[in-house]
Chains A and B, each alone.
Chain A
Amino acid sequence: TQLLEQSPQFLSIQEGENLTVYCNSSSVFSSLQWYRQEPGEGPVLLVTVVTGGEVKKLKRLTFQFGDARKDSSLHITAAQPGDTGLYLCAGASNDYKLSFGAGTTVTVRA
């Protein structure tokens, strides 16, 4: 059982559309990270959020950490085919272990 629930599991959109991926848990985390993973490769860190209510922007990607530090969202504006991949959220419950969600597979069609 994954500690973090991600939704939706799959998302297929047309280039130029917006999308939002959600990450929810009943647990409180000291920090939460988002990674992107391509087939046959390891996850690559996109962002870390630490403070409840924090919003971080990375070009067309906007990350938000819930006020209670239990949930997070990732919003992509004007998606491009290069955004295709598996998006994973991961929560840190201590100073070394990350618990990952099952991921959201995003496909952006040209």
Chain B
Amino acid sequence: DTGVSQNPRHKITKRGQNVTFRCDPISEHNRLYWYRQTLGQGPEFLTYFQNEAQLEKSRLLSDRFSAERPKGSFSTLEIQRTEQGDSAMYLCASSLDGPGDRGYTFGSGTRLTVV
């Protein structure tokens, strides 16, 4: 098992451009989460999938953000018309069940810089 994989690791984009990030969770994990972390803060919840169903979406996720998990395996997070305030580390995590004893397994994140 190679853990949770996120691509790309770093992305620099100009304001107004669209970006897409990919997350490959641990294969047997049916739950997948996206979090955003800015400098000096802890991760903030963005959205949660159980298999292919998106069960919760934070109000932090404006209409410019969309996440999918089409076959219940990998997930993508797209940001349209990026703004400087979107600059952050985007973290993906997966789990077999609830936080419980085993918690989440996080990927290494995608660092987005909007210039």
Interface residues on chain A, number (Cβ under 8 Å): 25
Beta-carbon contacts under 8 Å, A45-95 to B: 45, 48, 50, 88, 90, 92, 95
Q: Is the CB of A100 within 8 A of B109?
A: no
Write the nearest CB–CB distance from A35 to chain B, whole angstroms.
8
Q: Is the CB of A42 within 8 A of B109?
A: yes
Is B69 engaged at the interface, CB distance under 8 Å to the other chain?
Answer: no
CA distance A96 to B48 in the complex (A): 8
CA distance A100 to B104 in the complex (A): 13
Q: Which of B14-22, B71-79, B80-88, B92-100 contacts A (4 or more CB under 8 A)?
A: B92-100
Beta-carbon contacts under 8 Å, A13-35 to B: 31, 33, 35
State the total of A-B contacts with C-beta under 8 angstroms.
Answer: 70
A-chain residues with CB within 8 Å of residue B56 when the two chains form the complex? 96-97
Q: Is the CB of A42 within 8 A of B91?
A: yes
Q: Is the CB of A99 within 8 A of B4?
A: no
Given A43-B91, A96-B48, A102-B41, output 8 extra A-B contacts at Cβ < 8 Å. Answer: A4-B42, A41-B108, A42-B107, A42-B109, A95-B98, A96-B33, A98-B43, A103-B41
Ordered by A's residue number, 26 sampled pairs between the chains whose C-beta atoms are within 8 Å are: A2-B41, A33-B99, A33-B103, A40-B109, A40-B111, A41-B109, A42-B106, A43-B106, A45-B103, A45-B104, A45-B105, A48-B99, A48-B100, A48-B101, A90-B99, A95-B99, A96-B33, A96-B48, A96-B99, A97-B45, A98-B43, A99-B45, A100-B35, A100-B43, A100-B44, A101-B42
Q: What is the interface of chain A, defined by CB distance below 8 A to chain B? A: 2, 4, 31, 33, 35, 40-45, 48, 50, 88, 90, 92, 95-103
